[in-house]
């Protein structure tokens, strides 16, 4: 598939203060794209904007806020004149048994990861239609396979995958391309935050290879950049995720069987699992919502 040069393109990245979003913005900028950063951490966003190679600016906004995101879309177009690429990357996570989960944290994962992605697309689709641009929805291995102790995250990522595939059919004839990006465990604040919990870390280490590894951030983001350049419908941040597509019909039964065994093994320790949002991004989200 041919690549689209990024020189002079305008790219919007949500969840851009750290992790995948921050490095993706820098790599897009290094290829000549102008960058609009969106997130909840103004100090970090300002610093990230200062590290760009090209013209860049930042917006403090909650992706679940329709009014705020509509304002951001309008201001980004006024600032840069157009929008060619939008990466809906903002996300949070929580872990632990569903029955003991904090209802507010569980709901917030759905709100940010699924509703926030839809709010982002709703705000930016008019300008993407003008430019015949590209929307990349960041999903996860969690969209392909269920996992115990990750009910909210799996539900949200399965949701954004289905939503983005449906949206592709709606807007394709207008010239807008929609892609879904898949990542396995990647070295970010979110994954490091989850690994601070002994039970969650040990459960992940017991997964079959290659899903039990934490993968470096740089190569994963390089693959996402290549997918953006190709305007790909499916973008795989780790090489083996493409092969998982053909297996996903079998995975619920396998995980259901193996997962029961693992949950029985850890039953006595499940009460120690943290119930809140994980990582620095989760802490930032909670601080914004706490009066």
Q: Which residues are catalytic?
A: 153
> DSSP state, 15?
S
Q: Residue 181's beta-bridge partner residues? A: 138, 235
Q: Is 271 helix (H, G, I), strand (E, B) or coil?
A: helix
Helices (H), 172-275: 189-195, 198-205, 217-230, 241-244, 251-266
- CA-to-CA distance for 248 and 250, rounded, in angstroms? 5
Rounded CA separation 111/118 (Å):
10
- The neighbour count for residue 192, using CB atoms within 10 Å, is 14
Six token digits for residue 189: 């604040």
Residue 32: name the closest of 13, 60, 4 by CA. Answer: 4
Q: Distance (Å, rounded) from C-alpha 132 to C-alpha 238?
A: 28
Rounding to the nearest 10 degrees, give the CA dihedral for residues 147, 151, 157, 160.
140
CB 218 within 8 A of CB 175: no
| Cα–Cα distance list, 18 to 63, 126, 135 (Å) | 15, 27, 20
């Amino acid at each position: 598939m041919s690549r689209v040069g990024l020189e002079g393109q305008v790219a919007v990245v949500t969840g851009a203060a750290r992790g995948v979003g921050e490095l993706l913005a820098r790599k897009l900028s290094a290829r000549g794209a102008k960058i609009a950063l969106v997130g909840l951490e103004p100090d970090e966003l300002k610093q990230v904007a200062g590290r760009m190679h090209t013209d860049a600016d930042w917006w403090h906004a909650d992706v679940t806020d329709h009014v705020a995101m509509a304002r951001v879309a309008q201001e980004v177009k006024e600032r840069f004149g157009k929008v060619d690429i939008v990466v809906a990357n903002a996300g949070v996570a929580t872990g632990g048994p569903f029955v003991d989960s904090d209802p507010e944290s569980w709901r917030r994962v759905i709100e940010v990861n699924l509703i926030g992605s839809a709010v982002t697309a709703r705000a930016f689709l008019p300008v993407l239609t003008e430019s015949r641009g590209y929307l990349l929805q960041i999903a996860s291995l969690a969209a392909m396979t269920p996992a115990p102790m990750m009910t909210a995250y799996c539900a949200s990522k399965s949701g954004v995958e289905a939503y983005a595939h449906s949206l592709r059919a709606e807007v394709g004839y207008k010239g807008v391309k929609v892609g879904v990006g898949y990542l396995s465990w990647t070295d970010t604040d979110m994954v490091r935050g989850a690994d601070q919990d002994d039970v969650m870390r040990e459960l992940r280490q017991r997964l079959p290879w290659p899903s039990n590894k934490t993968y470096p951030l740089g190569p994963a983001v390089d693959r996402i950049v290549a997918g953006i350049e190709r305007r790909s419908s499916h973008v795989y941040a780790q090489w083996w995720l493409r092969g998982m597509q053909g297996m996903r019909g079998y995975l619920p039964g396998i995980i259901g069987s193996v997962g029961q065994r693992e949950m029985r093994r850890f039953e006595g320790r499940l009460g120690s699992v943290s119930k809140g949002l994980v990582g620095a991004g989760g802490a930032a989200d909670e601080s914004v919502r706490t009066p």
